[in-house]
Amino acid sequence: MENHIVSSLQLYKKPEKDFLKDKECLICLETIDLEVAKLVKLPCGCSNSVYHIVCIAKLLSSGKNKNFCPHCKSDYEITLQKVVQPLASIVVQPNTENQQTRRLSYIIIVHILTNSAMNIINIGMLRDYSKNDANIISKILQISYFCKILVNVFIVINLKINIEKMNNHLYLSYIIQSVLFVLLICLLSIIKNNFISVLILLNNIFFIITELGFRIRIECRLMNRVDVER
């Protein structure tokens, strides 16, 4: 019997957002909301087969011969005594993967915008320097910043909704920009007391802090949402 119950519960499919459009729970008559509500889709799959988990649990436990869909009256193959308790696990939890994908999408978009803007400004501010070492590093940085902008364009064009690939693209961008920042520090250490060098440094710090602040905000909002839904 236990194996039969497990097999039957596995047939319960999670409702899709399109299915939930303009739907309401026929028990409490409140609107169905996938983002905040705990839902279960009954095996009959009729047009109103999705209910709030609390509502359907109360209905099933209200008496004998209550193990049917309130809309189409289809009977369940699972007995009343066995279905009430397991129903608590048939809850549509927020799709963690979708949330992470959306979070990373926001982070990557902001990273690409701020990083590209920062590098364009860096290119415009870098110039020829009298010191040979500084001039060489300046040329390397100009070429590298331009290549990094092309990398950003490549990331946008080839970006697919895949968490692992999104993370890899983001980490690669961070690594490249970190190397360029080290080169920039080397250049600034050579051309001391230079007004342009101060502006370049402030430009990089501003965009780095802006991007970091946005990412912290997104991460905190996600953590708070998860805590509330638990």
For range 19-28, the mean pLDDT: 75
What pLDDT is recorded for position 194?
A: 75
Report the first-to-last Cα separation within the chain, whole angstroms: 31
The answer to whether residue 163 scores a pLDDT higher than 50 is: yes
Name which residue leads in pLDDT, 110 or 159. 110
Torsion of Cα atoms, 153 then 154 then 155 then 160, to 10°: 120
Could you tell me the CATH superfamily of domain 2-89? Zinc/RING finger domain, C3HC4 (zinc finger) (3.30.40.10)
Q: Which residues pair with 215 in a beta bridge?
A: none
Q: Could you tell me which residues are beta bridge partners of residue 52?
A: 39
Q: Is 51 exposed, middle or buried (0-12, 13-18, 19+ CB in 10 A)?
A: buried
DSSP letter (8 states) at residue 50: E
User: Can you tell me whether residue 51 is helix, strand or coil?
Assistant: strand
List, as one string, the DSSP characters of 173-196.
HHHHHHHHHHHHHHHHHHSTT-HH
Side chain identity at 130, as an amino acid letter?
A: S
More confident residue, 30 or 97: 30
pLDDT digits 0-9 by tens, 72-124: 777 655 444 444 444 444 444 445 566 777 788 888 889 999 999 999 999 99
d(CA 95, CA 172): 27
Percentages (nearest 5) of helix, strand, coil residues in the chain: 65, 5, 30
Q: Give the C-alpha separation, 104 to 39, whole Å.
A: 27
Instruction: Give 31's strand partners.
Output: 24
Domain ranges of the chain: 2-89, 96-229
E-strand ranges in the chain read: 39-41, 50-52
Chain centroid to CA 55:
31
How far apart, in whole angstroms, are the C-alpha atoms of residue 153 and residue 146? 11
Which pLDDT band holds residue 176 (cuts at 50, 70, 90)? very high
| Closest alpha carbon to 185 in 171, 170, 205 | 205
Whether 132 and 191 have beta carbons less than 8 Å apart is answered as: no
Residue showing tokens 């009256």: 73
Q: At 129, list the tokens.
A: 């320097």
